[in-house]
Amino acid sequence: MFLYFTRHTLFYSLGNFIVLEGTDGSGKSTLASFLQKEFSPEKLTVTQAFASPIASKVKPLLISDEATMASVESRFLLSFAAHVDHVTNTALPLLDTGVSVVSDRFDASNFAYQVYGESALHLAPLFWELRTQLLSTHVPDLYIFLDVPPEKGLERATQTGKILDFFEKRGGPYHERVREGYVEFFKNVPHIVIDANRPLEAVQQEVLAIVQEHTR
């Protein structure tokens, strides 16, 4: 059993930290862009999980074909370090000014992709220990899990026409494990599940209502 507290439990903070999570093709980035248009920058800002200066240097390494040259453990630690830097240097400064932050991915992705996707379950205890030691005061106020069948997500990803990255090139079994990782992560962490295997507008309106409720 894992026990965590949100920032509001420990500190007074004006903004809310909201995270969009899901497998590739679940629509996170599309929803993030939609939400940014629905709110003024003074009320809500959308960020990428690798938006901070240090984290932005890590992402190209993780999604490149050269990622295969690094061990699973190395990729896991790089990804976790990037998330810590992201919340410390991007999210928290905004939250402390009263601006709510929606992050396109955060630590759940590390668990789903690097631990379960890579069949590196031996890293799970380390993940939870690092989360306790490094993120216990930075835990998001809300996780929104955009759930879509992995095969549907991959179909969407390939239809965009963009060059697929290291993760998107992985086969169906890998992405099945990633989804399993999300399910396992959220057994321990409060969240809201959204059925993302629906028309985009329906998903947008449901997520918008949830975010509005949490940014009043």
Kindly report the pTM of this predicted structure: 0.87
2 domain residue, yes or no:
no
| Closest to 175 in 3D by CA, of 148, 194, 198 | 148
- Would the annotation count 26 as a binding residue? yes
**171 is annotated as contributing to ligand binding:** no
Whether 1 is in a domain gets the answer no
CA geometry: angle at 140 spanning 6 and 10, to 5°? 20
- pLDDT one digit per residue (tens) for the chain, 216 residues: 233 344 444 444 589 999 999 998 888 989 999 999 999 999 999 998 888 888 888 888 877 777 778 899 999 999 999 999 999 999 999 999 999 999 999 999 999 999 999 999 999 999 999 999 999 888 999 999 999 998 888 787 777 666 566 666 677 889 999 999 999 999 989 999 999 999 999 999 999 999 999 997
How many CB atoms sit inside 10 A of residue 153's CB?
24
Confirm whether 41 is domain-assigned.
yes
CB 214 within 8 A of CB 142: yes
Find out whether 25 is annotated in a ligand binding site.
yes
- Is residue 153 a known part of a binding site? no
The sign of the torsion formed by the CA atoms of 155, 157, 158, 161 equals positive
29 appears as a binding residue in the annotation: yes
Total Cβ atoms within 10 A of residue 65: 9
**DSSP assignment string, 13-35:** -SS-EEEEE-STTSSHHHHHHHH
Domain interval for residue 195: 7-213
Number of structural domains (the chain) is: 1
Q: What CATH number has the domain bearing residue 91?
A: 3.40.50.300
β-sheet bridge partners, residue 104:
20, 48
Q: Is 24 annotated as a binding residue?
A: yes
